[in-house]
Amino acid sequence: MQHINKKQTQSSPPNLLKGILISVFGITICILSLAWFAIDYQIEQLVVKRTSEYAHSIARIAADSSAEALLADDKLQLNLLVQNVAKDPYIRQAAIISENGQTVTQYPEDIESSAQAANNLEVSDFSPEDESEPTAKKTLGKQLDKQQSTQKANLEFATRRKNKVFFEPLVYQNITAGWFKLEIDKYKLEQNFRESFVEVQLMIGGIALLLFILLLLIVFRLDKNIRQLASHCQHLLFQNNIRPPNKKTHWLNAVKKLSETHLQQLQEHIHLPKKTDQWINARIVENTLVCYLEFDIQLLENPDIAHNLTQAEECINKSAQAFGVQTQGDILTGCLIPISDLSNDNSKNKKDKLTEAVSLIYLVKRLLSSLTPNMPVKAFMTQASVLYLENGQEITTGISLVNKSLDKIKQLSLITNYGDVISLSIPQTDLESIAQVSALDTDDRNHFKLLNANTEIEQLIARKFQYLSKN
């Protein structure tokens, strides 16, 4: 033990969580990066599209309104139109250009001239007012003037680069009279879009950060279990005289090889699963319509009796499944089949249940008679109390007749032949609408023998027999 502990201290299991964490972090970063660039590209395309649509829409309306005035040389109307369009806060300048390329009108006036005038005005503040000032001050004023002009020019050039110009033709009666020019303040127009986009980006980043933190918490919560699992695997490797490798891939291969090729000794005291009772719940259902089938096994004295019995039991099970009922017992001891509870049924429902029971009996007789060799059967139909036994999952695992009903059936079985269908404790009026009946020579007047089923039952049996024979 000391030798094993010494080995374990020299070689510790690999940190499996580290690989999981790196994988999770890498996948998360890749997904966020792809989503970020995809959204950025879509927003950029949307901003460009909306800017172009906005500018072309205004230019188109203005061009349609000014074409006639341009052909009529109505400069007053043209000036008013240009000024009204230029009042839009996102429009830097609006102008109308004639067919030969001359500017007819524009508002505001030439931006470069206005900017230059503003520059001169600002520079004049730095210019000496008195010509008698020293030459050094004049030279300093000129330098400041030049520097201010350069800065203004650079600012104007940068602003011009941010703006975007749109042209729309002035067409009147298929005659192009000129063009309407719009200079859009692209930065101001796209500012709201981009601010909204930044908010969306921050929101997505915040959500992604929260999800990533939650994922880290889940991973670290599993850290203890993963370390215990790795420690147990390390211990198994030492127990089987396998020196664990240092690399994680080789270590996992060694554990896999150990699980596939090495058998471990079981403990002396094995914890077997707790034994559960077969029957836990019991209930008795009064006035239940049941069928009892008794088979003639004496005719099956041949080497293939096991195969024949298997076929016969399969026919019985298939017939029960066709009518949705459950069987109890087997072909050797007798088969009990509860059909339905008749306590609260009206006359129509009771007739349907009796029809179902008779149909099931005749279907079993017909299927067993089609086998080679065939198997005769006695069938009994009665109303009796039935005991149902259930397991812990409330599944019926046992069915039995109570109040000595099975004893009465056994007594009648002694005086009936195979192939007969006998009814016990069911009024004759309920049976006459289903089949032809005749009274048995017994003390009880409610014992009848069913001779032939009616046409409806025969058709039902024929359909089910054809279906089960195919399968």
Taking only the tens place, the pLDDT of each residue in 217-275 is: 887 777 777 777 778 777 777 777 677 776 777 777 777 777 776 555 544 445 656 66
The helix-helix angle for 455-470 and 305-323 (nearest 10°) equals 120
CA dihedral 453, 458, 464, 470 (to 10 degrees): 120
pLDDT of residue 15: 73
pLDDT of residue 379: 94
- More confident: 442 or 150: 442
pLDDT of residue 273: 63
Pairing label, strands 175-184, 164-172: antiparallel
Residues in the chain: 471
Mean pLDDT of the chain: 77
Does the structure show a pLDDT above 50 at 126? no
Q: Which of 352, 371, 305, 354 is nearest to 332 (CA)?
A: 305
pLDDT of residue 114: 43
Task: Determine the distance from the C-alpha atom of residue 285 to the mean position of all C-alpha atoms in its chain, rounded to a whole number.
Answer: 44
Burial class (CB in 10 A: 0-12, 13-18, 19+), 236: middle
pLDDT of residue 108: 83
Residue with token string 């203004």: 152
- C-beta separation of 164 from 183 below 8 A: yes
pLDDT of residue 116: 46
What average pLDDT does range 282-287 have in this prediction? 87
What average pLDDT does range 385-394 have in this prediction? 82
d(CA 22, CA 15): 12
Cβ-based neighbours of 176, under 8 Å, separated by 6 or more: 99, 169, 170
Where is average pLDDT lowest: 14-18, 47-51, 137-141, 322-326? 137-141
3.40.50.150, 3.30.70.1230, 3.40.50.300, 3.30.390.30: CATH of 281-470: 3.30.70.1230
- C-beta separation of 325 from 361 below 8 A: no
pTM for the model stands at 0.44
Q: Which of 64-73, 122-131, 251-260 has the highest mean pLDDT?
A: 64-73
pLDDT of residue 381: 92
d(CA 103, CA 116): 20
pLDDT of residue 428: 85
pLDDT tens per residue, range 392-447 = 777 787 888 887 888 888 888 888 999 999 998 888 888 888 888 988 888 778 88
Q: How confident is the model at residue 163 (pLDDT cuts 50, 70, 90)?
A: confident
d(CA 258, CA 321): 49
Burial class (CB in 10 A: 0-12, 13-18, 19+), 152: middle
Where is average pLDDT lowest: 34-43, 107-116, 165-174, 279-288? 107-116
d(CA 97, CA 71): 12
pLDDT of residue 146: 62
Cβ-based neighbours of 297, under 8 Å, separated by 6 or more: 309, 331, 332, 375
Does the structure show a pLDDT above 50 at 122? no
d(CA 103, CA 271): 100
Q: How confident is the model at residue 292 (pLDDT cuts 50, 70, 90)?
A: very high
Q: How confident is the model at residue 290 (pLDDT cuts 50, 70, 90)?
A: very high
Adjacent-strand bridge partners of 173: none
pLDDT tens per residue, range 173-185 = 777 878 888 888 8
pLDDT tens per residue, range 352-386 = 888 899 999 999 999 888 888 888 999 999 988 89
d(CA 298, CA 141): 135
Does the structure show a pLDDT above 90 at 291? yes
Amino acid at 53: E
pLDDT of residue 377: 92
What are the domain boundaries of the chain?
A: 21-194, 281-470
What average pLDDT does range 332-361 have in this prediction? 85
Q: What CATH number belongs to 21-194? A: 3.30.450
Alpha-carbon separation of residue 436 from 110, 262, 308, 349 (angstroms): 115, 73, 32, 20
pLDDT tens per residue, range 14-51 = 777 777 777 777 887 888 788 878 887 888 888 788 88
Q: Which of 58, 65, 55, 68 is nearest to 177 (CA)?
A: 68
List phi, psi (to 5°) of 313.
Answer: -65, -35
d(CA 169, CA 167): 7
